[in-house]
Amino acid sequence: MSKNKFNTASNSYFNKQKISDIFDLLVNKGSIIPCNIEKDIKRNTRTLLLLKEKIKSTNISTRYTATYDALFRLFDITLNRHGYTLKNNPHQTFKQLYPILFSGINHLNIDINQVVNTRHRVKKRKYIPTENEYDIINRLYKHAMKNNSYDERS
């Protein structure tokens, strides 16, 4: 028998219970709050469609922030599907929950802290991201798209 039996897909009750416990903790911390699932998914989907146009920009700073914001909308849509939305410390919550809600992140070899820090520098300090930094955020965005089962018709 595997030593790591709780990490198998066959024990979905454990995984759902673990996620539920994490959500309860984040609600108690004020990081997430219950949401109107349908309304919030529609709002995030509309915003995501607008951001997809900005991602096409030739300006790398605009592209980076738009891609990050689109990634964030996908993250919030996934959270909405669980009945919650972001409240306090959204970027910290993103760093904590992304690896839990979006499987396979370890295979990408991406440091989420670095992505969030780069976004902060681009947005607040007018830092110009490198092509490599953009490639990293773009890979994370594509990972979220794949794992989110995003549907523009939502």
The domain segmentation of the chain, as residue ranges, is: 11-148
What are the distances in angstroms from CA 121 to CA 115, 126, 135, 149? 10, 6, 16, 30
Is residue 50 pLDDT above 80, yes or no? yes
Tokens of 45: 């989907």
Q: What is the mean pLDDT of residues 21-33?
A: 94
Q: pLDDT tier at 147 (50, 70, 90 boundaries)? A: confident
For residue 34, the SS3 value is strand
The larger pLDDT score, comparing residue 131 to residue 100, is at 131
Rounded to whole angstroms, the Cα distance separating 46 from 4 reads 41
Mean pLDDT lowest among 11-20, 67-76, 107-116, 127-136: 11-20
Higher pLDDT, 139 or 108: 139
